[in-house]
């Protein structure tokens, strides 16, 4: 065979930041969060359904093989899980879909959660995700702790134990935890292997630096949500306020990228075990988010960004 006849396959854009093992599956570190697919409750109207489906298909075309969702991501006329199933089923063999259980959301349009699910109620929530996604089992199920936006204290043992029973019954493959502190993660790890921790975290919302380090020590994926919006005024309900947006803007200008891309790149620089799941219902924003995986921040960039004061 001559060299002229040899062909190579270029890596996908979503693979530009490398890969990490999520449970027993290897995923590209740039993934996709489905929360914004439907539009947010405070938007004037839901996202266009066909546009949302096109965004999902484009994400997979660009190499995304890790999608984060939940049955409680819905509006009265839209459901993230149903959009995923419509757009991508039958799913590619390399696609990992992670979902969350725990909160019991009412039928209204807000994000408020009703009283938190009891351990024995988690089976129905897992089965709801299985049904909506059209699968026979779920790849990863995160126990999303707490009935509000902030973290809540309390033991996660009974709920994690209930998920291990559902795993043993074949309804899910791997267990993660979300919205937890270090003590709750340690408690969960004593019961079962933990595939991931999913908490709100970003450049200007650094309260979980300890968890980033702890998960790294144990080879657990750390999957921040709201990593772009955390700390940006008005972007996230209850979010803190960045004290120095000028540093982000300066780094963005130096690399000819957007501030959002800088924030995503900074997150990925926190460790090889950190995965990004930026969400959007807009194709252009999707492509910008995925392109952030190829942004290489310099030591000076990181020092400047790390110096940004963090609101508690």
183-209 pLDDT, tens digit each: 999 999 999 999 999 999 999 889 999
Q: Taking the chain, what is the end-to-end CA distance rounded to the nearest angstrom?
A: 61
Which parts of the chain fold into alpha helices (H)? 49-61, 80-88, 122-133, 157-168, 182-189, 209-218, 245-255, 259-268, 283-291, 299-306
- Residue 269, CA distances (Å) to 31, 121, 299 in order: 15, 38, 11
Instruction: Round the average pLDDT of the chain to a whole number and report it.
Output: 89
pLDDT at 268 over 50: yes
The catalytic position among 73, 91, 116, 201 is 73
- DSSP characters over 151-211: ---S--HHHHHHHHHHHHTTSEEEEEEES--HHHHHHHHTTS---EEE-B-BTTB-TTHHH
Is the domain defined by 17-306 classed in CATH 3.20.20.100? yes
Whether the predicted model's global pTM rises above the 0.75 cut: yes
By C-alpha distance, which of 221, 223, 216, 160 is closest to 187?
A: 160
By C-alpha distance, which of 73, 126, 94 is closest to 22?
A: 94
Among 6-15, 29-38, 85-94, 143-152, the range scoring the smallest mean pLDDT is: 6-15
Whole-number pLDDT of residue 150: 79
Integer Cα distance of 156 and 176 in angstroms? 12
Sign of the CA dihedral running 178, 184, 186, 189:
negative
By C-alpha distance, which of 32, 72, 31 is closest to 52?
A: 32
Sign of the CA dihedral running 124, 127, 133, 139:
positive
Domain ranges of the chain: 17-306
Integer Cα distance of 8 and 13 in angstroms? 15
Percentage of the chain beyond pLDDT 70 is: 87
Find the mean pLDDT for residues 97-101.
Answer: 98
Cα angle: 73, vertex 74, 80; to 5 degrees: 65
| Chain centroid to CA 51 | 21
Specify whether 116 is catalytic. no
């Amino acid at each position: 065979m001559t060299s002229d006849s040899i062909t190579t396959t270029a890596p996908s854009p979503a693979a530009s930041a490398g890969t990490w093992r999520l449970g027993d599956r290897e995923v590209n570190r740039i993934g996709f969060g489905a929360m914004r697919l439907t539009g947010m409750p405070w938007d004037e109207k839901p996202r266009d359904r066909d546009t949302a489906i096109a965004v999902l298909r484009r994400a997979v075309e660009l190499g995304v093989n890790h999608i984060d969702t939940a049955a409680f991501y819905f509006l009265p006329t839209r459901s993230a899980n149903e959009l995923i199933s419509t757009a991508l089923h039958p799913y590619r063999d390399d696609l990992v879909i992670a979902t969350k259980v725990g909160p019991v959301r009412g039928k209204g349009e807000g994000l408020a959660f009703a009283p938190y699910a009891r351990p024995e109620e988690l089976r129905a929530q897992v089965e709801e995700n299985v049904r909506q996604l059209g699968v026979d089992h779920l790849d990863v199920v995160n126990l999303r702790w707490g009935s509000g936006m902030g973290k809540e204290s309390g033991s996660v043992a009974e709920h994690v134990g209930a998920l291990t029973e559902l795993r043993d019954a074949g309804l899910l493959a791997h267990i993660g935890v979300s919205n937890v502190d270090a003590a709750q993660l340690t408690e969960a790890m004593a019961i079962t292997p933990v595939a991931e921790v999913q908490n709100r975290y970003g450049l200007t919302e650094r309260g979980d630096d300890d968890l980033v380090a702890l998960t790294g020590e144990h080879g657990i994926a750390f999957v921040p949500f709201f990593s772009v919006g955390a700390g940006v005024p008005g972007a996230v309900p209850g979010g803190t306020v960045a004290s120095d947006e000028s540093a982000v803007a300066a780094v963005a200008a130096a690399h000819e990228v957007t501030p959002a891309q800088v924030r995503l790149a900074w997150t990925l620089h926190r460790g090889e075990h950190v995965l990004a799941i930026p969400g959007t219902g807009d194709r252009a924003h999707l492509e910008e988010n995925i392109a952030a995986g190829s942004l290489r921040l310099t030591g000076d960039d990181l020092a400047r960004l790390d110096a940004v004061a963090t609101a508690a």
